[in-house]
């Protein structure tokens, strides 16, 4: 059965103490994760070890990094390697978030390299894709997302593609309070799955979790997550509020 994931993206928010308190608050509230469901916390680099320690032994709960570098090691001051993440026991990395694409000019090609290195270390990439507003307004979002998939993913083997998670995040819905309607989300998720099926076959396409991101909150999570091709969410703002994120975890179908 395909995995369903509620992934929190803390971005560059919270002090260490606030992060500890948030994880404690979330874990102290009743949350139900079935066998195929996971909660993932993408915390800032300096909090990875703290989060790993706090969540150790919790079933189906994982820590993610928000980025990594594309090289194995070396003279890359300020960067963090996948080997370092692996040495902390980190199992997920968010790649290609639209904020990284925009502010740090991450290209589809660079993301292809980052995907390769993550897969080489058995770390699961949560690969983000999605269109800006002007592309949606021109109704060319399918072509735009196809290009992101082609240029970053399509060199991967079928076995590798089965190890990734995709997050569709329409940029116009990130941090704006505007959510794609559940129909818009389902339409794009089904389209992405159809593209994967065309390239890798239906069975592989059916095994890849596709998360929706863009102003997911407790009040819209059930409707989004009950769409057949929406396998959970990548959540920014609402993941910083314990009650909200617990409700989002519990909204996984």
Catalytic positions, please?
97, 169
d(CA 153, CA 26): 34
Q: Which stretch binds ligand PEP (CB under 6 A): 102-110, 111-119, 138-146, 168-176?
A: 168-176
Residue (81 or 238) nearer to ligand PEP, CB = 238
Question: Does residue 236 belong to the site contacting ligand PEP (CB under 6 A)?
Answer: yes
Which CB, 200 or 240, lies closer to ligand PEP?
A: 240
Q: How far is CA 216 from CA 33, 76, 173, in A?
A: 18, 35, 9
The token pair at 154 is: 């399509």
User: Interaction with ligand PEP in 204-233: which residues (CB under 6 A)?
Assistant: 213-216
**In this structure, what are the phi and psi dihedrals at residue 232, rounded to the nearest 5 degrees?**
125, -165
Note the helical H segments in the chain. Answer: 16-28, 48-55, 82-87, 98-103, 108-120, 133-137, 141-152, 158-161, 182-200, 202-207, 218-225, 242-250
Residue with tokens 């001051």: 77
Question: Is residue 130 close enough to count as binding ligand PEP by CB under 6 A?
Answer: no
Tell me if 248 contacts ligand PEP by CB under 6 A: no
DSSP labels for 29-90?
S-----TTEEEEEE--GGGHHHHHHHHTT-TTEEEEES---SSSSSS-TT---HHHHHHTT-
| Count of residues in contact with ligand PEP, rule CB under 6 A | 15
Least gap, CB of 174 to ligand PEP (angstroms)? 4
180 binds ligand PEP (CB under 6 A): no
Site string for ligand PEP, 33-72 (x = CB under 6 A): ----------------------------------------
Q: How far is the CB of 71 from ligand PEP (least distance, A)?
A: 25
**Residue 102 beta carbon to ligand PEP: minimum distance, rounded to whole angstroms:** 12
Q: Which chain residues interact with ligand PEP by CB under 6 A? A: 9, 11, 97, 169, 174-175, 213-216, 234-238
């Amino acid at each position: 059965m395909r995995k369903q994931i509620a992934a929190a993206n803390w971005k560059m928010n919270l002090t260490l103490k606030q992060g500890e308190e948030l994880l404690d608050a979330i874990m102290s509230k009743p949350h139900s994760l079935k066998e195929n469901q996971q909660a993932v916390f993408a915390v800032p680099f300096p909090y990875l070890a703290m989060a790993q320690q706090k969540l150790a032994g919790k079933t189906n709960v994982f820590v993610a990094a928000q980025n990594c570098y594309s090289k194995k090691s070396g003279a890359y001051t300020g960067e963090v390697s996948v080997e370092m993440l692996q040495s902390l026991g980190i199992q997920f990395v968010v790649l290609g978030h639209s904020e990284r694409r925009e502010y740090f000019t991450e290209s589809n090609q660079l993301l292809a390299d980052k995907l390769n290195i993550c897969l080489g270390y058995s770390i699961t990439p949560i690969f983000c894709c999605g269109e800006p507003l002007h592309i949606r307004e021109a109704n060319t979002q399918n072509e735009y997302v196809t290009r992101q998939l082609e240029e970053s993913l399509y060199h991967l083997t079928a076995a590798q593609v089965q190890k990734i998670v995709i997050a569709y995040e329409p940029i116009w819905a990130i941090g704006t309070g505007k959510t794609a309607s559940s129909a818009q989300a389902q339409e794009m998720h089904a389209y992405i799955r159809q593209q994967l099926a065309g390239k890798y076959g239906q069975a592989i396409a059916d095994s890849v979790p596709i998360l929706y991101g863009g102003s997911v909150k407790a009040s819209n999570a059930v409707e989004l997550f009950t769409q057949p091709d929406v396998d959970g969410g990548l959540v920014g703002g609402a993941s910083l509020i314990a009650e909200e994120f617990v409700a989002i975890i519990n909204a996984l179908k």
